[in-house]
């Protein structure tokens, strides 16, 4: 597995592993023992960067990673997140955000215990807190870095103005936001800003929450607890309209003897050398398929073909429900 650098010095595998779906978001939690085997197999296949958050469960995903990665802790990097209003004793989630400095410190301490480690490699603010100046947030993480409990500071779903303000207080190593052929808005302002500041980019939902795999159509039924049930872009009508994008990716994949998922990930890897997608899965064969993307080379002609063809497509549906969009800070 090739390596990439986030920020100035955080070396990670070119593809990381997003771990949320193992515990929440896409239906019931997966079998713990199976997920431990999958996480360790990911490492054997070259993955060294694992992404989690206190909110995934809550807490269950950090506990899972702590157990699975403990034997190889010194050979991997773990990213986790703070920022939601979650009671650290009960796991009960409040309605909004909480990035008060004292809460950030408490979340870090709790996360270290669950992850069975003495440091967090990348600590993201999960969502911007409108009630706490970002300078105070960056200052709190800076203190954790000074204490040796955190190595690098990250931000998720933040505006470019907020990123610049935070970066002025303490260097931001990586920004995590949605980015894929299914959602290209970061190209307008975010990616140029990150390039200007020397900040890495970690796209979540790099496969469009599964849509770019080509395995989802207007007839697909999701588990009642799957968040896609309330996402406008995943309404049956939107899925039917947006199949044109999947058809485009499938055509390129056929010419490369690859799968649509591999082409979608290879496209992201080709955008910038400091982009590290974190596709998630609970299935070993999908993990192996996704990691095969690092061996798919898209030429300049391929990339131009994709851009030209996709520019004529009108994708339907918002990427998140309105309430979730209001929490992004974008």
We report the CATH number of the domain holding residue 11 as 3.20.20.100
Strands 10-13 and 3-6: antiparallel
pLDDT at res. 109:
98
Is the pTM of the predicted complex or chain greater than 0.95? yes
Task: List residues with catalytic annotation.
Answer: 56
How many structural domains does the chain have?
1
Parts of the chain with a pLDDT under 70: none
Q: Write down the pLDDT at residue 301.
A: 96
* Strand pairing class (120-125; 150-156): parallel
pLDDT of residue 146: 98
Long-range contacts of 186-194 (CB under 8 A, 24+ apart): 189/160, 190/160, 191/271, 191/272, 193/160, 193/163, 193/164, 194/163, 194/274
User: What per-residue confidence (pLDDT) applies to 329?
Assistant: 82
pLDDT confidence of residue 163: 98
- Domain enclosing residue 271, as ranges: 3-326
Q: Hey, CA dihedral for 42, 43, 46, 50, is it positive or negative? A: positive
Q: How far is CA 87 from the centre of its chain?
A: 23
| pLDDT at res. 76 | 99
């Amino acid at each position: 597995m090739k390596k990439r650098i986030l920020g100035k010095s955080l070396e990670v595998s070119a593809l990381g592993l997003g771990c949320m779906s193992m515990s929440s978001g896409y239906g019931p939690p997966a079998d713990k023992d199976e997920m431990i085997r999958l996480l360790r197999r990911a490492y054997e296949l070259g993955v060294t960067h694992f992404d989690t958050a206190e909110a995934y469960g809550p807490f269950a995903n950090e506990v899972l990673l702590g157990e699975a990665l403990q034997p190889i802790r010194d050979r991997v990097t773990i990213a986790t997140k703070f920022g939601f209003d979650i009671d650290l004793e009960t796991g009960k989630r409040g309605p909004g955000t909480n990035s008060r400095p004292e809460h950030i410190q408490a979340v870090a301490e709790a996360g270290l215990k669950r992850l069975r480690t003495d440091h967090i490699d990348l600590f993201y603010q999960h969502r911007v807190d409108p009630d706490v100046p970002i300078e105070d947030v960056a200052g709190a993480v800076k203190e954790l870095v000074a204490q040796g409990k955190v190595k690098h500071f990250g931000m998720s779903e933040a505006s470019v103005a907020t990123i610049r303000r935070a970066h002025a207080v303490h260097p931001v190593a990586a920004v995590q936001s949605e980015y894929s052929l299914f959602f290209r808005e970061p190209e307008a302002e975010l990616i140029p800003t990150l390039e200007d500041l020397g900040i890495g980019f970690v796209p979540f939902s790099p496969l469009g929450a599964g849509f770019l795999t080509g395995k989802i159509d207007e007839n697909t039924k999701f588990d009642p607890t799957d968040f896609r049930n309330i996402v406008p872009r995943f309404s049956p009508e939107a899925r039917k309209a947006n199949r044109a994008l999947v058809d485009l990716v499938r055509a390129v994949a056929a010419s490369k003897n690859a799968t649509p998922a591999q082409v979608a990930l290879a496209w992201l890897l080709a955008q910038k050398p400091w982009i590290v997608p974190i596709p998630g899965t609970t299935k070993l064969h999908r993990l192996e398929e996704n990691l095969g993307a690092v061996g798919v080379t898209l030429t300049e002609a391929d990339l131009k073909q994709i851009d030209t063809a996709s520019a004529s497509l009108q994708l339907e549906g918002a990427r998140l429900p309105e309430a979730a969009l209001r929490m992004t800070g974008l």
